[in-house]
Chain A
């Protein structure tokens, strides 16, 4: 953990103020201020050449983020070198382009049901662009996890009615209340999103019984399992995308109710879908204006 002394060093740096240009001198000489005429030996003379070569080498090998760091070193030590600056910008564009291509490939593979290959492409996106939240969400299955489905409240819905429809058991309304804290006694308002847990209380699929102890242990199978476990979530996401596209088609055909229905199905499969929720709201507003013109 970075702490203690590091904090002091950093705090000292802050106190030293923000002035001047980089590069900075990290160490303070222990003696008096040096004579302006005296020149220190430049220990960094070979740095730009070394890191230019390294950058070329790792870029050829496909490690673009490391190559970018090396190119930034070159640029840092040669701030007036337009070529060094250009190389950094070129590589940034290359990284963005490759990340976009991998993302599109991942979506296409997912759509074709090739979850394992899609997973590999999403990982390639994150390797190039670790801040890509969409790719991270896909590999972590956030929003499309196996635990929940999503329900958008419709006219006339009650928790009991929804439980009856989803679980075939109105008495499971308490589950919906538990997972969706709602003000007591309040009516459900149309358009509210509810998270509904999957109810699966069966035994685990496979177990290994350790001798001498009733402690079943599932045996993994490397990370194939981790990928395979995502198959179901991948299927949900593909179906969600298909319903979203169908909603767009209906919307363009001016079938607003149909579009809303399709997008609600999208949300039930992928609660974190980036567009379905706002599109439903737009369609509802549009529908309201059409039905009650002033």
Chain B
């Protein structure tokens, strides 16, 4: 799904073109055809930084991405470079072999990635801020599909923030907070239908398995099926605020326990390391951010309403809460994917 500016495979590819093996043999070749007397036309030429290919009938960006980049889902990488319409058969198309816009940085502005945050869902009923109705959620996911958005896992966002990988121009990340049962019952089937990955930030004390909350069996099942399970503390306390009667030392130990213990519990139940933290209430401060870094988290998230450029602070990455009271237009307003220079 993503372009890797310096990814091992692209480097390998560049190396190959650079050392110029005269002929690439596809892994599966059809049986030999009858002898021919003229050479078939060469339809692609490779160089260290690019390939120029001649479009043939039936080609699409997906087929070209599969053939030359080894990944059909990299079609966006070609279409965003060459324009949405594939040239006609017989015309050439340029296939870059490295990121041409790392970090989504362009002469006219820079890419931003909306990281959407949900909590609970409901089948019916009156929506409130934290509860999105099933029909509304489905409409939002459909909106993403119909408008060319690509939903990425958090690992891709992490690489984007490193300024080393290019991701589709209209990228979005979907996250859920806390660990409510409705994520399993309602959101998962819809996400599955669209093939969207998502991240579930759980606060581990909530995972008790009730009518309202997830059980660890359900969390494991989600983990095995496209959900990334990450940390949201143990008890959901405000991490950025010291309680009135709390000594500084007690506060420090409490915060440390929240971010270390929750990761240990998630690892124990899912067998997967926790890499990302969503601060409960989006609440943090300099010390907590520094502790989060110290404890090995790669990124930590607030709930500041703005989409994310590559130069975001890794321990204060913004997310946008999607309220149950949002109209589809409100939802769309949270999908900013580009910031034009001069629009400040």
B30 within 8 A of A: yes
A21 within 8 A of B: yes
**Contact status B294-A179, CB under 8 Å:** yes
Contact residues in A for B102 (Cβ distance below 8 Å): 130
A106 within 8 A of B: no
Contact residues in B for A211 (Cβ distance below 8 Å): 128-129, 325
Q: Which residue in chain B gives the minimum CB-CB distance to A119?
A: B311
**Contact status B112-A2, CB under 8 Å:** no
B5 within 8 A of A: yes
**Contact status A31-B33, CB under 8 Å:** yes
Tell which of A25, A169, A197 touches B287, judged by Cβ atoms closer than 8 Å: A197
Please report the C-alpha to C-alpha distance between residue A208 and residue B86 in the assembled complex, in whole angstroms.
46
**Contact status B339-A223, CB under 8 Å:** yes
Q: A18-B21, A44-B92, A174-B249 in contact; A210/B286 too (CB < 8 A)? A: no
**Contact status B21-A16, CB under 8 Å:** yes
**Which residues A117-162 have CB closer than 8 A to chain B?**
119-120, 123, 126-127, 130, 136, 139-141, 145-148
B38 within 8 A of A: yes
**Contact status B129-A210, CB under 8 Å:** yes
Least distance between B277 CB and chain A CB atoms (Å): 14
**Contact status A38-B39, CB under 8 Å:** yes
Contact residues in B for A9 (Cβ distance below 8 Å): 24, 26-27, 67, 70
**Which residues A49-104 have CB closer than 8 A to chain B?**
50-51, 61-63, 65-66, 69-70, 72-73, 76-77
**Contact status B45-A24, CB under 8 Å:** yes
B296 within 8 A of A: no
Least distance between A135 CB and chain B CB atoms (Å): 10
**Contact status B249-A26, CB under 8 Å:** no
**Contact status A18-B20, CB under 8 Å:** yes
Please, what's the 1-or-0 string for A237-275, where 1 marks a CB less than 8 Å from any CB in chain B?
000000000000000000000000000000000000000
Tell which of A26, A136, A201, A208 touches B45, judged by Cβ atoms closer than 8 Å: A26
Please report the C-alpha to C-alpha distance between residue A26 and residue B286 in the assembled complex, in whole angstroms.
53
Least distance between B24 CB and chain A CB atoms (Å): 4
B106 within 8 A of A: yes
Contact residues in A for B47 (Cβ distance below 8 Å): 22-23, 72-73, 76
Please report the C-alpha to C-alpha distance between residue A279 and residue B252 in the assembled complex, in whole angstroms.
36
**Contact status B69-A141, CB under 8 Å:** no
B57 within 8 A of A: no
**Contact status A217-B69, CB under 8 Å:** no
A185 within 8 A of B: no
Least distance between B258 CB and chain A CB atoms (Å): 14
A288 within 8 A of B: no
A204 within 8 A of B: yes
Please report the C-alpha to C-alpha distance between residue A72 and residue B7 in the assembled complex, in whole angstroms.
21
Contact residues in A for B112 (Cβ distance below 8 Å): 223
Contact residues in A for B99 (Cβ distance below 8 Å): 130
A281 within 8 A of B: no
A183 within 8 A of B: no
Please report the C-alpha to C-alpha distance between residue A224 and residue B312 in the assembled complex, in whole angstroms.
12
Q: A43-B43, A199-B286 in contact; A127/B294 too (CB < 8 A)? A: no
Q: A5-B27, A69-B49, A178-B294 in contact; A18/B19 too (CB < 8 A)? A: yes
Least distance between B295 CB and chain A CB atoms (Å): 10
**Contact status B44-A27, CB under 8 Å:** yes
**Which residues B204-242 have CB closer than 8 A to chain A?**
240-242
* Interface-side segment among B8-16, B142-150, B188-196, B266-274: B8-16
A17 within 8 A of B: yes
Please report the C-alpha to C-alpha distance between residue A47 and residue B50 in the assembled complex, in whole angstroms.
13
- Enumerate 19 A-B pairs (CB-CB under 8 Å) in ascending A order: A2-B7, A2-B70, A12-B27, A13-B16, A23-B20, A23-B47, A24-B21, A27-B26, A29-B40, A31-B34, A44-B92, A61-B107, A126-B163, A146-B313, A174-B252, A210-B129, A210-B323, A216-B283, A223-B112
4 tightest A-B contacts by CB? A6-B70, A220-B306, A18-B19, A26-B44
* Apart from the given pairs A16-B22, A24-B46, A175-B252, 13 other A-B contacts in the complex at a CB distance below 8 Å: A2-B70, A6-B66, A7-B70, A10-B9, A10-B13, A22-B47, A28-B25, A38-B39, A44-B92, A130-B163, A146-B313, A204-B282, A223-B339
